């Protein structure tokens, strides 16, 4: 009898455990993860984002620590190929940003920081609208929620990633943003959210987006992909702004005056072909063949990247722009397009309606020939490239 009693106790225990461990569906997991994310008090963030438009690639890396109550943060941003990076320290009262090696005291609103809710509740709530479209799978210690397709309804989710890649001035202009979003077409959207089974914190998110942007009769392809990881959740101590940052910082007015002087001198810095040849450390390749009506208008030189730019124009709608730099700065592997051959060398061709870009390497240089024209065909653009 005792054996039977133990047997039934075991059965009831198994049933009880099964009831306690009842699987959650995707809607429950998504809702619980959103609610738990809103409660997060501090965390470390690591974000990588890649963007490609018209064959040109750009990357952004952001790392940092953020706390709430008190509100403090330290964030470092690296803009990849643009050669820009900056750091920000902030608390509820003040913010400091490093610009070109100089710390600048800034207004929180000017940095787009009206609050420290970096885990945006509004963006989280948007996900609930699409909970039926999510697919869910489970791994040992996490739920994986995937949202994918080309549904135009996803455009409001795409907005958040678009704004992350834009400057504060543009991201704050509602009229420009409205026009931009109306011109977008989604070809691919994939969002994957990783949720910790124990805490229901969203610990990682990956995204892969392919878009088309229609502007002035032209269609441009754009791709974005990235990964955001949260760690040290509720374990980050409030960030103190270092004394040397505060002591060495200048005001916005002081730095603005300095940048205005530098910008004015940069804008005026255009060169003739002969002047560019004196500045460049390499022999500048030039097109030996140009269509009728196109003339050289001006050139530019960027010393740090050893970048030479040549501009040729016929009118406002028809122009040719050539960029040349050593391959150890940018190379063909940094670009994207359809494979072609230019003077016996491997090259890439990128096309979008009235815009063509041909890229190839010669004599240790990367040459990027961009042509915007309502008249020239792909074959004619390739002939220009062959004439270098």
| Stretch 306-310: mean pLDDT | 94
Q: What is the pLDDT of residues 243-266, one digit of tens each?
A: 999 998 988 777 666 555 554 554
> Half-sphere exposure of 129 toward its Cβ, with a 13 Å CA cutoff?
11
Rounded Cα distance between 10 and 16, Å, is 10
Which residues lie across from 215 on neighbouring strands?
A: 218
Q: Decide: 182 and 194 in contact? Cβ < 8 Å.
A: no
Higher-scoring residue by pLDDT: 93, 254: 93
Q: Same domain for 246 and 331?
A: no
Q: Are residues 83 and 203 in the same domain?
A: yes
- DSSP single-letter state for residue 172: T
- Looking at the structure, tell me whether residues 112 and 217 fall in a common domain: yes
Question: Do 190 and 252 lie in a common domain?
Answer: yes
In this structure, the answer to whether residues 128 and 237 fall within a common structural domain is: yes
In this prediction, residue 16 carries a pLDDT of: 36
* pTM listed for this prediction: 0.62
Give me the pLDDT at residue 299, please.
94
Q: Within a domain: residue 124?
A: yes
For 313-344, what is each residue's pLDDT tens digit? 999 889 999 999 999 988 898 888 899 999 99
Number of domains the chain contains: 2
Mean pLDDT of the chain: 82
pLDDT for the residue 153: 77
Percent of the chain whose pLDDT exceeds 90: 48
> 3 by DSSP, 3-state: which?
helix
Q: CATH no. for residue 287? A: 3.30.200.100
Check if the beta carbon of residue 287 is closer than 8 Å to that of residue 342: no
**Structural domain that includes position 320:** 269-386
Residue 17 in domain = no
Mean pLDDT over 137-154 rounds to 88
With respect to residue 318, please indicate whether it lies within any of the assigned structural domains: yes
> For residue range 266-298, what is the model confidence (pLDDT) as tens digits?
455 889 999 999 999 999 999 999 999 999 999
The CATH number assigned to the domain holding 180 equals 2.50.20.20
Question: In this predicted model, what pLDDT tens digit does every residue of 146-175 receive, in sequence order?
Answer: 999 886 777 777 776 665 554 444 444 556
**Residue 9 has what pLDDT?**
33
Does some domain include residue 327? yes
**Is the same domain home to 330 and 376?**
yes
Which of 27-41, 56-70, 110-124, 206-220 has the weakest average pLDDT? Answer: 110-124
Residue 56 pLDDT class (50, 70, 90 cuts): confident
How buried is 337 (Cβ within 10 angstroms: 0-12 exposed, 13-18 middle, 19+ buried)? middle
Which band of pLDDT confidence, cut at 50, 70 and 90, is reported for residue 42? very high
The answer, yes or no, to whether residue 212 has pLDDT greater than 60, is: yes
Residue 292 falls inside a structural domain: yes
């Amino acid at each position: 009898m005792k054996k039977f009693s133990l047997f039934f106790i075991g059965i009831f225990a198994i049933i009880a455990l099964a009831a306690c461990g009842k699987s959650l569906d995707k809607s429950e997991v998504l809702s619980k993860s959103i609610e738990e994310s809103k409660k997060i008090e501090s965390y470390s963030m690591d974000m990588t984002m890649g963007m490609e438009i018209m064959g040109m690639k750009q990357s952004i890396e952001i790392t940092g620590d953020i706390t709430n109550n008190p509100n403090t943060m330290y964030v470092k941003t690296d803009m990849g190929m643009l050669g820009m990076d900056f750091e920000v320290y902030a608390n509820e009262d003040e913010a400091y940003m490093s610009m070109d090696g100089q710390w600048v005291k800034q207004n929180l609103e000017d940095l787009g920081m009206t609050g420290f809710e970096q885990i945006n509740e509004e963006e989280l709530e948007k996900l609930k609208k699409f909970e039926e479209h999510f697919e869910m799978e489970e791994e040992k210690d996490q739920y994986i929620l995937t949202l994918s397709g080309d549904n135009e309804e996803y455009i409001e989710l795409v907005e958040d990633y678009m704004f992350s890649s834009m400057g504060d001035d543009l991201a704050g202009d509602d009229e420009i943003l409205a026009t931009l979003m109306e011109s977008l077409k989604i070809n691919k959207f994939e969002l994957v959210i990783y949720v910790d089974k124990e805490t229901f914190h969203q610990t990682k998110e990956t995204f892969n987006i392919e878009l088309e942007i229609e502007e002035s009769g032209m269609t441009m392809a754009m791709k974005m992909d990235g990964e955001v990881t949260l760690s040290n959740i509720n374990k980050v101590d409030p960030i103190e702004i270092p004394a040397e940052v505060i002591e060495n910082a200048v005001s916005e007015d002081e730095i603005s005056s300095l940048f205005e002087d530098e910008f004015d001198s940069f804008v005026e810095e255009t060169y003739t072909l002969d002047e560019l040849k004196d500045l460049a450390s390499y022999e500048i390749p030039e097109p030996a063949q140009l269509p009728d009506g196109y003339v050289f208008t001006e050139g530019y030189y960027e010393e740090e990247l050893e970048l030479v730019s040549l501009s040729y124009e016929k009118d406002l709608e028809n122009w040719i722009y050539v960029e040349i730099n050593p391959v150890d700065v940018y190379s063909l592997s940094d670009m994207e397009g359809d494979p072609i051959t230019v003077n016996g060398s491997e090259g890439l061709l990128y096309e979008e309606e009235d815009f063509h870009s041909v890229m190839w390497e010669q004599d240790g240089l990367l040459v990027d020939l961009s042509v915007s024209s309502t008249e020239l065909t792909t074959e004619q653009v390739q002939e220009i490239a062959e004439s270098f």
